[in-house]
Amino acid sequence: MKPFQLLPALGAALLIAEPSAATTATSLSPPRAAISIPAHAAASGAQGAGSLEAGEQQVPAAPVSLKLEVTPRAPFLHQRIKVEFLISIDERFLQDNLLQLFRQELDLPVQLHANWLRGNDCLRPDAEIQTAVSADADTGLSGLDPRLSLALEDGRALVERLPDQSHSTGRNRIYRLTHHFVPGCAGPLAFEAARLDYAFANAFRLNAFGEPEALERRQASIQSEPLTMDVQDFPEQNRPLAFTDAVGRFSLEAELSSNRIFVGDSVQLTMRIRGEGNLESFQPSRPDPIPGFHFLGLADSFENGERVLSYELQSKAVRTKPIEPIQWPSFDPGPPAVYRILSSESMPIEVVAAQPDSASAAEQAGQAEKQQAADSPSPPPSPPWLLGLVTTLLAALGAFAWLRLRKTAKRSS
């Protein structure tokens, strides 16, 4: 296969730009301003009628097209929606005419632009846009369902190859780029036209290395049709008081970190929520109050495709009765659209009064005695004059005793 390949496009008008030095730039920036010409002229190389030069390829009338699809078209608020770019490329044009856009080669050398891909106030990406190509991605064009790289804004993304579609003069290769979003505002939501940039040539020659070389490089852009959807607000009828914004079809499991604790100890109540919907983005709610427990805090995480909510509860009194099933409200967009109350199994728990053993009791008693001794008031210090008086008396007594001993010694002599 030649080193010039093709990829997606969108819409109606085809824009052609004269070749420029920017075609060898390493940054993924859009081509220079283009001029509009009729699609049939662009397809034939805009050289007018006449015989083709040696090595020139006759390009199909519409070699590239792209369709933007959004499902569902009338979602509810916070309902996960899927946006797909379906790209159709004539196989001959892909193999014989498409050129690389950048020095860093792409499997599909096109650049896609859509200013809403990274979200806005009313449209939030449900997951980070993937711009890195996995090391084990299949970058060949043979076979079905390889993941192929293309330029998405200033990075790279992967598209999926779908089964080819036949037409009167050949067949088209079909590719799909998919993203998911969550609408955050009720009412009309517009998706502006996306733009696809690519480069191609109709005539080639062999260079000194025997490789085909484009005689005239053309740059082109096409646009998709814009789309608008109507985002519905949540119905007020039968709306649970504890409902926040969980939309989808879910399942719920709940468990305790321990089934036997002492009064005053804490225990983790973990809720695991699985299913299809806005798992990563819904606002968690606090469970209904549980008699004998005090709510301390919440740890929220998303792991292995499930939302994990861990509530820390502190026991306040002796309890032997199991904790009632945890109930959690969500909205199923259907059809039919309905609020659902998910319920877990009841959870056995035993909260007992603390009864320390004899060793710990003796240790606690010893610590209490030490604390009592430390807390006992010490006698007040002696005043300075009293210390001086005692010192003087002791000195006088010493002198008197010395004099008595001296007189006794003289009499004996």
Q: Please give the pLDDT value at position 168.
A: 87
- Cα–Cα nearest to 82, from 141, 126, 130: 126
Residue 319 carries which DSSP code? B
Tell me, yes or no, whether 180 and 35 share the same domain.
yes
Span 328-350, mean pLDDT?
Answer: 95
Q: Is residue 213 within 8 Å of residue 207, measured between CB atoms? A: yes
Last residue of a domain, one of 352, 375, 391: 352
Tell me, yes or no, whether 216 and 264 share the same domain.
no
pLDDT tens digits for range 120-130: 889 999 864 54
Q: How far is CA 377 from the centre of its chain?
A: 62
Tell me, yes or no, whether 205 and 280 share the same domain.
no
pLDDT tens digits for range 368-378: 566 556 555 65
Q: Is residue 294 part of a domain?
A: yes
Last residue of a domain, one of 199, 231, 263: 231
Residue by residue, DSSP assigns 193-231 as PPEEEEEE-S-EEE-TTS-EEESS-EEEEEEPPPEEEEE
Specify the higher pLDDT residue, 51 or 233: 233
Residue 84 domain boundaries:
14-231
Number of domains in the chain: 2
Q: Is residue 406 part of a domain?
A: no
pTM more than 0.75: no
Lowest pLDDT segment from 21-35, 165-179, 268-282, 298-312:
21-35
The answer on pLDDT for 16 being more than 60 is no
Residue by residue, DSSP assigns 221-286 as EEEPPPEEEEEBPPP-TT--TT--S-BEEEEEEEEES-SEEETT-EEEEEEEEEEEESTTTSPP-P
The answer on pLDDT for 253 being more than 70 is yes
